[in-house]
Amino acid sequence: QFMERMLSTYNFNNFKLRFLGDGWDRLEPIAKRNNIDLKLTTDADYSVYPQFYQDIDYLLIPGLWTAGPISFQESLSTGTPVISADVGFAGYELKPDHIFPPNDVNSLSKILDKIQEPLLKRRRQVVNMSWLNYATDLINFINKIKK
């Protein structure tokens, strides 16, 4: 219900949301209605987990309660920063990059506002970086100095 409220109230236009695991399918209609880029991965095959963590900028743990959560440790093992509700080990043994009170839409919204511009800046810096663009630029540079 917390993420349903977030999707209904926060402007996620500059974010791509990726959810791993079961139980998130109820978010699809809300995301579609609000033009939010949402992808669900319900694959229980743990071999997809490393790629999932490499493909995300932040792991968000929105839970109201949890003992671990194990996803926090998985995220740490891949170097992915964590935004977490203050539940389980988060804030005690494990230190998330950003922490918010459970079920607090306003606090999470402030964190998302804070991280949004640095993420957009990084994306703008790398948007045109590819091997093809590099090769084209190198050829153009060589042709200029040959003249």
Q: What is the pLDDT of residues 106-145, one digit of tens each?
A: 999 999 999 988 877 877 777 677 788 888 888 999 999 9
Helix ranges (H only) for the chain are: 2-9, 28-33, 49-55, 70-78, 105-126, 131-146
Average pLDDT of the chain is 85
| Pairwise CA distance, residues 48 & 11, whole Å | 29
Tokens of 64: 């109201």
- State the Cα–Cα distance between residues 110 and 44, nearest whole angstrom: 32
Angle at Cα 21 formed by Cα 30 and Cα 36, nearest 5°?
25
Which residues of the chain fall below pLDDT 50?
A: none
Instruction: Give the residue from 11, 14, 108, 130 showing the smallest Cα distance to 64.
Output: 108
